[in-house]
Protein backbone atom coordinates (compact mmCIF):
# COMPACT_ATOMS: atom_id res chain seq x y z
CA UNK A 1 0.00 0.00 0.00
CA UNK A 2 1.34 3.41 -1.05
CA UNK A 3 0.16 6.85 0.06
CA UNK A 4 0.27 10.28 -1.56
CA UNK A 5 -0.45 13.53 0.27
CA UNK A 6 -2.21 16.25 -1.72
CA UNK A 7 -2.57 19.81 -0.41
CA UNK A 8 -5.34 21.78 -2.18
CA UNK A 9 -4.44 25.48 -2.34
CA UNK A 10 -6.51 28.22 -3.93
CA UNK A 11 -5.77 31.92 -3.96
CA UNK A 12 -9.36 33.15 -3.82
CA UNK A 13 -10.73 33.05 -0.28
CA UNK A 14 -13.65 35.11 0.94
CA UNK A 15 -12.24 35.59 4.42
CA UNK A 16 -8.52 35.66 3.58
CA UNK A 17 -7.58 36.13 -0.10
CA UNK A 18 -4.10 34.88 -0.95
CA UNK A 19 -3.57 33.12 2.36
CA UNK A 20 -1.44 30.22 0.96
CA UNK A 21 1.25 32.82 0.19
CA UNK A 22 1.08 34.74 3.47
CA UNK A 23 4.49 35.01 5.12
CA UNK A 24 4.73 33.27 8.48
CA UNK A 25 8.05 34.03 10.13
CA UNK A 26 10.02 33.85 6.90
CA UNK A 27 8.18 31.09 5.02
CA UNK A 28 4.84 31.02 3.27
CA UNK A 29 1.95 29.11 4.80
CA UNK A 30 1.82 26.63 1.92
CA UNK A 31 5.55 25.94 2.21
CA UNK A 32 5.18 25.24 5.91
CA UNK A 33 2.31 22.81 5.29
CA UNK A 34 4.30 21.08 2.55
CA UNK A 35 7.41 20.74 4.69
CA UNK A 36 5.45 19.38 7.65
CA UNK A 37 3.73 16.79 5.44
CA UNK A 38 7.08 15.73 3.96
CA UNK A 39 8.16 14.68 7.44
CA UNK A 40 5.54 11.91 7.54
CA UNK A 41 7.36 8.65 6.72
CA UNK A 42 4.16 6.96 5.52
CA UNK A 43 3.76 9.37 2.59
CA UNK A 44 5.52 8.34 -0.61
CA UNK A 45 4.79 11.69 -2.28
CA UNK A 46 3.52 15.14 -1.33
CA UNK A 47 2.23 17.66 -3.84
CA UNK A 48 0.26 20.88 -3.93
CA UNK A 49 -2.84 21.18 -6.14
CA UNK A 50 -3.74 24.72 -7.21
CA UNK A 51 -5.51 26.67 -9.94
CA UNK A 52 -3.47 29.84 -9.46
CA UNK A 53 -0.28 30.66 -11.34
CA UNK A 54 1.16 32.62 -8.41
CA UNK A 55 0.88 29.63 -6.10
CA UNK A 56 2.13 27.27 -8.81
CA UNK A 57 5.26 29.34 -9.42
CA UNK A 58 5.92 29.76 -5.70
CA UNK A 59 5.62 26.05 -4.87
CA UNK A 60 7.68 25.04 -7.92
CA UNK A 61 10.68 26.64 -6.22
CA UNK A 62 10.68 24.16 -3.33
CA UNK A 63 8.40 21.21 -4.12
CA UNK A 64 5.97 19.36 -6.36
CA UNK A 65 2.85 21.08 -7.65
CA UNK A 66 0.17 20.46 -10.29
CA UNK A 67 -2.08 22.99 -11.98
CA UNK A 68 -5.73 22.00 -11.82
CA UNK A 69 -8.80 23.56 -13.33
CA UNK A 70 -10.77 26.22 -11.47
CA UNK A 71 -14.24 26.00 -10.05
CA UNK A 72 -13.92 22.83 -7.98
CA UNK A 73 -16.72 22.64 -5.39
CA UNK A 74 -14.43 21.08 -2.77
CA UNK A 75 -10.88 20.14 -1.91
CA UNK A 76 -11.82 16.51 -2.52
CA UNK A 77 -12.61 17.27 -6.17
CA UNK A 78 -9.35 19.17 -6.59
CA UNK A 79 -7.42 16.26 -5.04
CA UNK A 80 -9.04 13.90 -7.51
CA UNK A 81 -8.06 15.97 -10.54
CA UNK A 82 -4.53 16.46 -9.19
CA UNK A 83 -4.15 12.72 -8.71
CA UNK A 84 -5.23 12.03 -12.30
CA UNK A 85 -2.72 14.56 -13.62
CA UNK A 86 0.14 13.33 -11.45
CA UNK A 87 -0.66 9.63 -11.76
CA UNK A 88 -0.62 9.42 -15.56
CA UNK A 89 1.63 6.35 -15.45
CA UNK A 90 -0.67 4.73 -12.87
CA UNK A 91 2.00 4.15 -10.27
CA UNK A 92 -0.78 4.54 -7.69
CA UNK A 93 -3.63 2.04 -7.96
CA UNK A 94 -7.10 1.55 -6.52
CA UNK A 95 -6.10 0.23 -3.10
CA UNK A 96 -3.51 2.96 -2.49
CA UNK A 97 -4.24 5.99 -0.32
CA UNK A 98 -4.74 9.68 -1.03
CA UNK A 99 -4.53 12.01 1.96
CA UNK A 100 -6.27 15.38 1.58
CA UNK A 101 -4.16 17.71 3.75
CA UNK A 102 -5.55 21.10 4.75
CA UNK A 103 -3.51 23.94 3.28
CA UNK A 104 -4.29 26.35 6.13
CA UNK A 105 -2.66 24.40 8.98
CA UNK A 106 0.99 25.49 8.74
CA UNK A 107 2.08 23.50 11.79
CA UNK A 108 0.25 20.25 11.16
CA UNK A 109 1.90 17.43 13.08
CA UNK A 110 3.23 14.66 10.79
CA UNK A 111 2.13 12.17 13.46
CA UNK A 112 -1.51 12.96 12.64
CA UNK A 113 -0.97 12.07 9.00
CA UNK A 114 0.82 8.91 10.09
CA UNK A 115 -2.08 7.98 12.40
CA UNK A 116 -4.62 8.44 9.63
CA UNK A 117 -2.67 6.32 7.14
CA UNK A 118 -2.09 3.58 9.73
CA UNK A 119 -5.85 3.14 9.98
CA UNK A 120 -5.88 1.72 6.46
CA UNK A 121 -4.14 -1.41 7.68
CA UNK A 122 -7.73 -2.59 8.10
CA UNK A 123 -8.79 -3.54 4.54
CA UNK A 124 -12.42 -2.74 5.38
CA UNK A 125 -11.71 0.96 5.78
CA UNK A 126 -12.05 3.14 2.71
CA UNK A 127 -12.40 6.69 4.15
CA UNK A 128 -10.73 7.81 7.39
CA UNK A 129 -10.66 11.17 9.14
CA UNK A 130 -9.71 12.60 12.53
CA UNK A 131 -11.57 14.03 15.52
CA UNK A 132 -10.59 15.68 18.79
CA UNK A 133 -12.44 16.19 22.05
CA UNK A 134 -14.14 19.58 22.46
CA UNK A 135 -13.30 21.18 25.79
CA UNK A 136 -14.72 24.68 25.44
CA UNK A 137 -18.17 26.20 25.20
CA UNK A 138 -16.95 28.51 22.43
CA UNK A 139 -15.94 25.63 20.18
CA UNK A 140 -19.05 23.64 21.00
CA UNK A 141 -21.37 26.42 19.82
CA UNK A 142 -19.17 27.80 17.02
CA UNK A 143 -20.72 26.85 13.64
CA UNK A 144 -17.26 26.93 12.05
CA UNK A 145 -16.24 24.03 14.33
CA UNK A 146 -17.78 20.91 12.80
CA UNK A 147 -19.03 18.32 15.28
CA UNK A 148 -19.24 14.55 14.75
CA UNK A 149 -20.92 11.61 16.47
CA UNK A 150 -19.86 7.99 15.93
CA UNK A 151 -21.13 4.50 16.54
CA UNK A 152 -19.40 2.00 18.83
CA UNK A 153 -16.98 0.93 16.08
CA UNK A 154 -15.78 4.46 15.33
CA UNK A 155 -17.82 5.02 12.18
CA UNK A 156 -19.27 8.51 11.82
CA UNK A 157 -23.04 8.66 12.18
CA UNK A 158 -23.45 12.37 11.44
CA UNK A 159 -21.56 15.65 11.14
CA UNK A 160 -23.07 19.02 12.02
CA UNK A 161 -22.25 22.64 12.66
CA UNK A 162 -24.56 22.43 15.68
CA UNK A 163 -23.69 20.67 18.96
CA UNK A 164 -24.51 16.96 18.61
CA UNK A 165 -25.86 15.08 20.37
CA UNK A 166 -28.22 17.44 22.19
CA UNK A 167 -28.22 16.61 25.90
CA UNK A 168 -31.37 17.91 27.48
CA UNK A 169 -30.77 20.13 30.49
CA UNK A 170 -26.98 20.21 30.14
CA UNK A 171 -24.74 22.98 28.82
CA UNK A 172 -21.14 21.87 29.47
CA UNK A 173 -18.91 20.68 26.66
CA UNK A 174 -18.27 17.36 28.40
CA UNK A 175 -20.59 15.45 30.71
CA UNK A 176 -20.48 12.03 32.33
CA UNK A 177 -22.98 10.94 29.67
CA UNK A 178 -21.12 12.23 26.63
CA UNK A 179 -17.91 13.60 25.17
CA UNK A 180 -18.26 16.03 22.27
CA UNK A 181 -15.86 15.78 19.35
CA UNK A 182 -14.80 18.24 16.67
CA UNK A 183 -14.01 17.02 13.18
CA UNK A 184 -10.56 17.85 11.85
CA UNK A 185 -10.74 18.30 8.09
CA UNK A 186 -8.04 15.92 6.92
CA UNK A 187 -9.26 12.90 4.95
CA UNK A 188 -7.70 9.72 3.69
CA UNK A 189 -9.37 7.81 0.86
CA UNK A 190 -8.55 4.67 -1.05
CA UNK A 191 -8.15 5.75 -4.66
CA UNK A 192 -11.04 3.66 -5.95
CA UNK A 193 -13.29 5.19 -3.29
CA UNK A 194 -12.16 8.72 -4.14
CA UNK A 195 -13.08 8.07 -7.77
CA UNK A 196 -16.54 6.95 -6.67
CA UNK A 197 -17.41 9.77 -4.27
CA UNK A 198 -16.48 12.61 -6.62
CA UNK A 199 -19.03 11.22 -9.09
CA UNK A 200 -21.90 11.38 -6.59
CA UNK A 201 -24.56 14.07 -7.00
CA UNK A 202 -24.92 16.54 -4.14
CA UNK A 203 -27.17 15.41 -1.32
CA UNK A 204 -29.80 17.31 0.63
CA UNK A 205 -28.01 17.05 3.98
CA UNK A 206 -24.76 18.27 2.41
CA UNK A 207 -26.52 21.34 1.05
CA UNK A 208 -28.29 22.10 4.33
CA UNK A 209 -25.14 21.92 6.47
CA UNK A 210 -22.64 22.86 3.74
CA UNK A 211 -20.54 19.80 4.61
CA UNK A 212 -19.39 17.60 1.73
CA UNK A 213 -18.83 14.52 3.93
CA UNK A 214 -22.58 14.28 4.51
CA UNK A 215 -22.93 13.39 0.82
CA UNK A 216 -20.79 10.31 1.37
CA UNK A 217 -22.82 9.22 4.38
CA UNK A 218 -26.01 9.92 2.47
CA UNK A 219 -24.94 7.43 -0.20
CA UNK A 220 -23.92 4.74 2.25
CA UNK A 221 -20.16 5.23 2.53
CA UNK A 222 -18.56 4.66 5.93
CA UNK A 223 -16.20 7.28 7.37
CA UNK A 224 -14.04 5.88 10.16
CA UNK A 225 -12.85 8.40 12.73
CA UNK A 226 -9.55 8.29 14.59
CA UNK A 227 -9.19 10.22 17.85
CA UNK A 228 -6.23 12.58 18.13
CA UNK A 229 -5.01 14.59 21.10
CA UNK A 230 -2.90 16.89 18.94
CA UNK A 231 -4.09 20.46 18.41
CA UNK A 232 -3.53 22.32 15.14
CA UNK A 233 -3.49 26.04 14.44
CA UNK A 234 -5.87 26.70 11.56
CA UNK A 235 -5.59 30.03 9.72
CA UNK A 236 -9.01 31.05 8.37
CA UNK A 237 -8.78 34.85 8.69
CA UNK A 238 -5.98 37.44 8.97
CA UNK A 239 -6.81 37.69 12.67
CA UNK A 240 -5.91 34.03 13.12
CA UNK A 241 -2.28 34.91 12.46
CA UNK A 242 -2.24 36.16 16.05
CA UNK A 243 -2.55 32.51 17.19
CA UNK A 244 0.88 31.71 15.82
CA UNK A 245 3.56 31.30 18.52
CA UNK A 246 6.52 33.63 18.61
CA UNK A 247 8.94 30.83 17.72
CA UNK A 248 6.85 28.53 15.49
CA UNK A 249 9.78 26.43 14.27
CA UNK A 250 10.44 25.25 17.81
CA UNK A 251 6.87 23.94 18.08
CA UNK A 252 6.36 22.69 14.51
pLDDT in tens, 118-160: 999 999 999 999 999 998 888 899 998 999 999 999 999 999 9
Nearest to 144 by CA among 126, 121, 162: 162
Q: What pLDDT, on a 0 to 100 scale, did the predictor assign at position 251? A: 47
Nearest to 138 by CA among 173, 174, 180, 104: 173
For 187-204, the pLDDT digits (tens) are 999 999 999 999 999 999
User: What whole-number distance in Å separates Cα of residue 119 and Cα of residue 104?
Assistant: 24
Q: What pLDDT, on a 0 to 100 scale, did the predictor assign at position 249? A: 65
Q: 176 vs 224, which has greater pLDDT?
A: 224
Q: 55 vs 170, which has greater pLDDT?
A: 55
Mean pLDDT of the chain: 90
40 pLDDT more than 80: yes
Q: Which of 14-18, 110-114, 158-162, 203-207 has the lowest mean pLDDT?
A: 14-18
Q: Give Cβ neighbours of residue 57 (< 8 Å, ≥ 6 apart).
A: none
Neighbours of 142 (CB within 10 A): 15
Q: 138 vs 36, which has greater pLDDT?
A: 36
172 pLDDT more than 70: no
Contact call for residues 187 and 154 (beta carbons, < 8 A)? no
Q: Give Cβ neighbours of residue 40 (< 8 Å, ≥ 6 apart).
A: 5, 110, 111, 113, 114, 117
For 41-100, the pLDDT digits (tens) are 999 999 999 999 999 999 999 999 999 998 888 889 999 999 999 988 889 999 999 999
What is the share, in percent, of the chain residues with pLDDT greater than 70? 93
Q: What pLDDT, on a 0 to 100 scale, did the predictor assign at position 252? A: 47
Q: Write down all domains in the chain, each with its CATH number in brackets.
A: 3-240 (3.90.550.10)
Q: What is the mean pLDDT of residues 239-249?
A: 70
Q: What pLDDT, on a 0 to 100 scale, did the predictor assign at position 237? A: 73
User: What whole-number distance in Å separates Cα of residue 196 and Cα of residue 172?
Assistant: 39
Longest Cα–Cα distance of the chain, Å, equals 58
Q: Which of 25-34, 35-44, 80-89, 240-249 has the lowest mean pLDDT?
A: 240-249
113 pLDDT more than 70: yes
pLDDT band of residue 248 (cuts 50, 70, 90) is low
The one-character DSSP state at 56 is H
Pairing of β 156-160 and β 127-133: unpaired
* 231 exposure class (CB count in 10 Å sphere: 0-12, 13-18, 19+): exposed
Residues linked to residue 160 through DSSP beta bridges, in sequence order: 147
Handedness of CA 232, 234, 239, 244 (dihedral sign): positive
E runs forming strands in the chain: 3-9, 23-24, 27-28, 45-50, 65-67, 97-100, 127-133, 147-150, 156-160, 174-175, 178-179, 181-190, 224-227
Q: 168 vs 83, which has greater pLDDT?
A: 83
101 pLDDT more than 90: yes
Q: How many residues does the chain have?
A: 252
Q: Which of 38-42, 121-125, 243-247 has the lowest mean pLDDT?
A: 243-247
Cα-based distances in Å from 34 to 8, 96, 111: 11, 20, 14
Amino acid sequence: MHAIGIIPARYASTRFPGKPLVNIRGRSMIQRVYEQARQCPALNEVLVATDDQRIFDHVSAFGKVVMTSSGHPSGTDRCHEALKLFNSEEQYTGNDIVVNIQGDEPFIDPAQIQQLISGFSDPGRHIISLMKEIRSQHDLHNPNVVKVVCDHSGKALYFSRSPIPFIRGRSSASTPENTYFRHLGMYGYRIRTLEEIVALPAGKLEQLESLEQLRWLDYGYSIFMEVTELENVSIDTPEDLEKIPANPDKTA
